[in-house]
A = this chain, B = another copy of it.
Amino acid sequence: MPLDPRPAGPRTQGPAATDEVRRRNTAVLLRLLRDGSARSRADLARLSGLAKATVGAIVGDLEELGVILEAPAARDEPGRGRPGTLVRLDGRRHAGIGIEVNVDYVAVTVLDLTGAELWFERTAWGAGPPGTEQVLRLAREHLDRLHATGASALGLTVAVPGLIDRSLGQVVDAPNLGWHAEPLADRLAAGLSSPGLVVAVDNDANCAARAESLQGVAVGETDLVYLTGTVGLGAGVIAGGEVLRGSRGLAGEVGHLRVGTDQPCACGRTGCWEALAGQRGLVAATGLEVAAGEDPVAYAARVAALPDAATLLEPVVAAMVRGVTGLALGLDPAVVVLGGAFVPLADVLVPALEQALGAGFTGPGTRVAPSSLGLHAASVGAALDALDATYAGRRSLPRAG
């Protein structure tokens, strides 16, 4: 029961034993192989800084777990001495499941160990927002489907639009879904009773931000802001490679940031960012009505298609500039990723935002780019989160099952 009495940052770790060393070194090698490239043991030793003997031992372990294949010696470049036997990751035995729950739809992404997509499904909820039993049923369905392929799930993460307590695995408040103080992780873990499966919960914007930084338009970036437009507006922030959470998990809840003056907001105040640039803001700016049951992204696409969209959207653009420059000044992201309903509006938004951010201090300004993962973003990020414990060395791969 390791416990550290003082609140400590991520860099300040608790007690450890030697087996953690192996976990960490294994994770280093896994990360080197994650992209599917084939490497020799000697390569891995050089790249990781580990001794050859250590690499040999770890690769042996991984082979035994069925996670590594010896690729037939495909020697391209000449080279002098004995050619290495290449190994590459075989991700088919393990997977991560990501489920994005929203008011009117649910999206499921299943990624294999290498991060390759096994399948993605997006379906509308039958009637009204779902309860946790429906999420459980869906999770079980996809878990079974995964087991049928002979793979096992390392983790399952649910992305929820709301306030999350990640350490408790609780949805503190998801007003759109009508969920409050919902112990979702525990409930799913109990309902699935799949030993070794780690169930987690996270905010949808946080998941989307993680996805964009690992597989999307901001791949490789450790500092980025993901802005998502739905009916409302929210942000997910990756800072220093980690999701920024804040003291209560509210970091990135910027919908009610004051970026204007008059426009009244549902929250009672005026000038809120989401009142100006959320769906209601788009309606106010363009006069275009939302069709019954229309998706915010579809609506935004119709807005973008208006002949005089650029001029009509001026107040929206102004609000976005105020909001984004504020966030960017405080957080200094390398990229601002526009997601959700902002994707169809990217042609109008990106130039204006890049210009506003270009006048930065030194060096290149913050980039602005539309999400490349689109509707997949949150569920992919959730699935990546399910794999993260393994790649970060917090967890070792389970014995073959």
Residues of B contacting A21 with CB < 8 Å? 16-18, 20-21
A25 lies within 8 A of chain B by Cβ? yes
Write the nearest CB–CB distance from A331 to chain B, whole angstroms: 6
Chain B: CB-nearest residue to A365: B248
Closest B residue by C-beta to A241 = B9
Q: Does A256 contact B (CB under 8 A)?
A: yes
Q: Is B329's CB under 8 angstroms from A256's CB?
A: yes
Closest 9 CB pairs of A and B: A9-B241, A246-B332, A247-B334, A2-B49, A223-B247, A250-B332, A251-B332, A9-B242, A10-B10
B1→A49 contact, CB < 8 A: yes
A53 at the interface (CB under 8 A from B): no
A204-226 residues with Cβ-Cβ distance < 8 A to B are: 220-224
Any B CB within 8 A of the CB of A150: no
A232 interfacial by beta-carbon distance below 8 Å: no
A31 CB contacts on chain B under 8 angstroms = 4-6, 8, 12
Write the chain B residue with the least CB distance to A224.
B247
- Copy total for this chain: 2
Interfacial residues of chain A within 226-268, with CB under 8 A of chain B in the complex: 235, 237, 239-242, 244-254, 256-258
With A10-B242, A242-B9 already in contact, the answer to whether A248 and B332 are too (CB < 8 A) is yes
Given contacts A240-B9, A242-B9, contact A49 B14 (CB under 8 A): yes
Nearest CB in chain B to that of A50: its residue: B15
**Closest B residue by C-beta to A2:** B49
Residue pair A11, B392 in contact (C-beta under 8 Å): yes
Instruction: Tell yes or no: A154 within 8 A of B by CB.
Output: no
Q: Is A376 interfacial (CB 8 A cutoff)?
A: no
Contact with A362, one of B239, B241, B248 (Cβ below 8 angstroms): B248
Complex A-B: 5 CB contacts under 8 Å: A4-B48, A14-B49, A18-B21, A246-B333, A248-B362
CB-contacts of A329-355 with B (<8 A): 329-334
B7 touches A361 (CB 8 A): no
- Are B330 and A252 neighbours in the complex by a CB distance under 8 Å? yes
Complex Cα distance A6/B49, Å?
14
- Report the stretch among A117-125, A277-285, A301-309, A320-328 that lies at the interface: A320-328
B253 touches A15 (CB 8 A): no
Contact A239/B248 with A163-B362, A257-B330 known, Cβ cut-off 8 Å: no
Interface string of A155-168 (1 = CB under 8 A from B): 00000000100000
* Residues A254 and B48 in contact, CB atoms below 8 Å apart: no
Give chain B residues whose Cβ lies under 8 Å from the Cβ of A50.
15
A19 to chain B, nearest CB (A): 9
